[in-house]
Amino acid sequence: MSLIPQEWKTGLNVATQVDNIAQQITIRIDSKNGVEGSGVIIGKQGDIYSVLTACHVVSDPYCQSGKIKDNYTLVTPDGATYRLTSKNMLLTQGLDAALLKFSSQKSYQVATLARYKIPILRKQLIFVSGFPGELKGVRKLTGGYRFHRDKGLNLAFDRLKLEVDTSGYELLYTNLTQPGMSGGPVFDSKGQVIGINTGQEGEIVSSTEQRNLGFSFGVPTIKLLAFAEQKGLDLSTLAISQQVPETLTDNDLKNVQKHPTFILENPPKDGSANSWLNYGNQLWRLKQTEQAIAAFQKAIKLNPNFGEAYYGLGLSYFQQGKIGEKDETDPKAVAAFEQAIALNPYFKQAWTQKSYALQDLGKYEEALAAIEQGIKISSDDFKLYNQRASILKDLSRYSEAKQAYTKSLENYP
C-alpha cells in the first residue's frame, strides 16, 4: 500500500482529514533493534502525557507486569525522544494494552476517543495509523472497513476466537497492517479513535515470509478506557465522544477508495505463491474481487497444491456472488472450497465457507452435511453451531435449530 504523496495532503477527502489528525497524535516506540511499535497520545495532566499502545509491543505475550522486554524510546510527532522504563509503563493481564507516561513541557495534540456502538449490520469506514518497521520511521495510514464484533467472529479464523477471551481483540477490520503498526490508533471517519491496532491473522512461513489470510484486529476504546481508569487515569481529563459518524454517501466512498491508503502494490515479477496469496487477501479485504480472483489463480499456478489459495479463491467467488450473479459464482466458490478440502480434509474454515455457499444456493441438505464435517473437526466452535441452526431453520426443522442455537450460545466467547 502506497504512502500518501504530497498532492493528497490538501483537500477535503475524508482519508486526508483523518491522516492530518493521525500525524499529530501517533507516536513511535523504538528499541535498540529499531521500530517496535506505535501508540497514540490520549491525555495530558500537567506535564505528564498518557499514551496507549499494545502490551505485546513492550512486554511478553502474557502482558505480565515486570516482564518489560527492553529499554524503549518514545518518539513524538515532532521527532523528540523520551526514555521509557518499567516505572512509566502500566500493564494488565487479559488485555493487549499498555498505558505509557512521559513528561514534557511541549504541547502535543491528544486524541478524541470514541465511545459508541455500531449497529450489527452496519459496516464502518476506518483507518489505522502506525510505523511499519520496514519503513524505518516513516508513518503509514491504511484504509478499510470495520465489522461488528459478532459478524467478525463468524468470519475470523480460530486464533481470534481465542484471543477475544485472552487479549480483548473485539475489533475486526479489513485494513492492512504490518509489524511496527501494533499499538497504533484505529480511527473512524471523523478522526475519532475507536481502538488500538494489535495485529492480523496469519502465520509465519519462513524467516522472510508471513502468510496472511484473514483480517486485522484490535482492542476497542471502551475496553481501553476501563483499563486506563483501573490504572488511575482520570477519564474526565480525556476528550471522549459518543458521536457516531454520519454514513458516507456512495460518492464519498468512491473518492475515498481512490486515495493512496486504498492502493496496493503488485508482488514482484518473481514473487512466490505466498506473496500472491497475501496480495489476493489484501485485494479481497478491500472488495477488489476480480483482481483478488486473478491473484489467487496466480498463486495456484505457481503452487497447484496450495490449499489456502483455493480457499482464498472460494472466498472471492463467494464475495463476487454477493454483488452479482450468485448462481454463476457460488458454484465456483463451492468448487474452490472442495479443492482446498481435498488438499486438507481438516480445513475447518473451508468446510464452513462451503456450507455458506451451498446455503446461498438453496442446497440446504448439502450445506448441513458440510457444516457437520466442520463440527466434527472443531466441536466447541460457536460459529459452526450458529450456521447449523441457520440451515435447520431453512429446512423448517425448528426444534433442532433451537438446540443448535443453544449450543452456539454455550460456546460463545
Same domain, 182 and 226: yes
Q: Are 127 and 19 spatial neighbours (Cβ–Cβ below 8 Å)?
A: yes
> Does a structural domain hold residue 2?
no
Do residue 350 and residue 210 come from a single domain?
no
Is 206 in the same domain as 305? no
Instruction: Tell me the whole-structure pTM to 2 decimals.
Output: 0.80
**Chosen domain end from 58, 78, 103:** 103
> Domain for residue 134, yes or no?
yes
From CA 187, how far away is CA 12, in angstroms rounded? Answer: 17
Q: Which amino acid is at 380?
A: D
Q: Are 396 and 305 in the same domain?
A: yes
Residues of the chain with pLDDT under 50: 1-2, 4, 7-9, 158-166, 203-208
Strands (E), 46-202: 48-53, 72-75, 81-84, 89-91, 98-103, 112-114, 124-130, 140-147, 171-173, 185-187, 193-200
Residue 199: per-residue pLDDT: 80
Q: How high is the pLDDT of residue 286?
A: 82
- pLDDT for the residue 120: 57
Number of domains, the chain = 3
* Per-residue pLDDT at 343: 97
Residues whose CB falls within 8 Å of the CB of residue 64, separated by 6 or more in sequence, listed in order: 91, 93
Residue 297 lies in a domain: yes
End-to-end CA distance of the chain: 33
Q: Can you give the CATH number for the domain in which 39 is found?
A: 2.40.10.10
CB 352 within 8 A of CB 384: yes
Residue 85: all three cell numbers together: 522504563
Reduced to 3 states, what is the DSSP secondary structure of residue 45?
strand
Domain boundary among 103, 135, 160: 103
Among candidates 75, 91, 93, which has minimal Cα distance to 83? 75
Instruction: Look at the block and give the residue holding cell 508482488.
Output: 267
Q: Which domain holds residue 388?
A: 262-411
Shared domain check, 367 and 297: yes
